[in-house]
Amino acid sequence: MNAVISVGKKVLTVVALTAFTLAVLIPLLWMVLTSFKSGPEIFASPWGLPGKIHWENFSHAWQTAGIAHFFLNSLIVTVATLAFLIPIGAMAAYVFARYPFPGSKLLFGTFLGGMMFPQFLTIVPLFFLMNTLKIGAYSLYDTKLGLTIVYIAYSLPFTVFVLTGFFQTLPKDLDEAAMIDGASHSKVFWRVMLPLAKPGLIVVGIFNGIGLWNEYSLALVLIPSEANRTLPLGIANLVMVEHYQSDWGALFAGLVIVMVPVLIVYWVFREKIHETMLAGALKG
């Protein structure tokens, strides 16, 4: 009797979990499937398979709809942000982890506080700040440079938080030994500590990279012109403003183009990403 109940429960669990898994996956699979279909096929039935694979949806999205341009913008902004964020964040984190000074706890706390401020708290002042700050004759508003600077600043709290924890775990006698050998503080950081921190830097880079690639709200407010649009802005604009619905296939292809790079990176680094997410959640 007990055995029957336990088998029944197992079956029920499997059925429920399968249903849940399908609920997560079906919209995603539908998106990918639809990106290969022709317009009439999309209207005929959402479940039907495409007669042949319409790769031209992807070329339409990439070229005609301008996704290529947005893709390049996103790539530039994301890479530039990471290129500055990681060293700047690591330098600050190293000081917080290894060089206590009067007020260092308070300063560190101020940085962590940034993880709690919702972006919208600062969005209006930030909008005007970017309009006011000028490089030459141009303001930072509506420039990739401006967006990059803002992205660096808003990614710092999390980056400093994770990397400080990482530097704290590295053995202390290493830098002491190097210092006795006559190396300067800077030399110890760049030659000894940073190479040791490489796994931490990679995780932080991936994690931030995904978030930056996907970022929408700040870009929405700070980038009005088409020339500087990032991928999320570009695809949103195609749907909302330009009503690109005449070419459904290309729209779905566009969504797939936005999604796929992120999911590939995520899948490769998923274990590390989970660890970082949990560390942030459970300690924070």
Partner 1 sequence: MKNRGRTAFIVTYLAPAVLLYGVFVILPVLQAVGYSLFKWSGLSSKKTYVGFDNFKQLFHDDVFWQALLHNAWIFLFGGSAILIVAIAVAHGMQGESRATKALRSVYLFPNIMSLVVVAILWEFVYDPHIGLLTSVMKLFGGGATHRSGAAGIDTSILGSPTQALPAVIVTFVWFAVGFYIMLFSAGIRQIPQEVAEASKLDGAEGLFRFRKITLPLLWSVGRIAVIYLVINTLNVFALVFLMTQGGPDRKTEVMLTYLYEQAFVNSDYGAATALAIANFVIVMAVSGIVLRLTRKDPTGVSH
Q: Which is nearer to partner 1, 137 or 240 (CB)?
A: 240
CB of 217 to partner 1, least distance (A): 6
The residue from 47, 137, 171, 173 that contacts partner 1 (CB under 8 A) is 47
The residue from 70, 111, 158, 166 that contacts partner 1 (CB under 8 A) is 111
Q: HEC profile for the chain? A: CHHHHHHHHHHHHHHHHHHHHHHHHHHHHHHHHHCCCCHHHHHHCCCCCCCCCCCHHHHHHHHHCCHHHHHHHHHHHHHHHHHHHHHHHHHHHHHHHHCCCCCHHHHHHHHHHCCCCCHHHCHHHHHHHHHHCEECCEECCCCHHHHHHHHHHHHHHHHHHHHHHHHHHCCHHHHHHHHHCCCCHHHHHHHHHHHHCHHHHHHHHHHHHHHHHHCCHHHHHHCCCHHHCCHHHHHHHHHHCCCHHHHHHHHHHHHHHHHHHHHHHHHHCHHHHHHHHHHHHHHC
Q: Mark residues 184-203: x for contact with partner 1 by CB under 8 A, - for none.
A: xxx--x--------------
The residue from 121, 174, 177, 227 that contacts partner 1 (CB under 8 A) is 121
The residue from 156, 178, 193, 203 that contacts partner 1 (CB under 8 A) is 156
The residue from 158, 250, 258, 276 that contacts partner 1 (CB under 8 A) is 258
Candidates 52-60, 64-72, 110-118, 191-199; binding stretch for partner 1 (CB under 8 A) = 110-118
Asked if 166 is part of the footprint of partner 1 (rule: CB under 8 A), the reply reads no
Asked if 36 is part of the footprint of partner 1 (rule: CB under 8 A), the reply reads no
Asked if 249 is part of the footprint of partner 1 (rule: CB under 8 A), the reply reads no
The residue from 8, 53, 216, 227 that contacts partner 1 (CB under 8 A) is 216
The residue from 72, 239, 242, 268 that contacts partner 1 (CB under 8 A) is 239
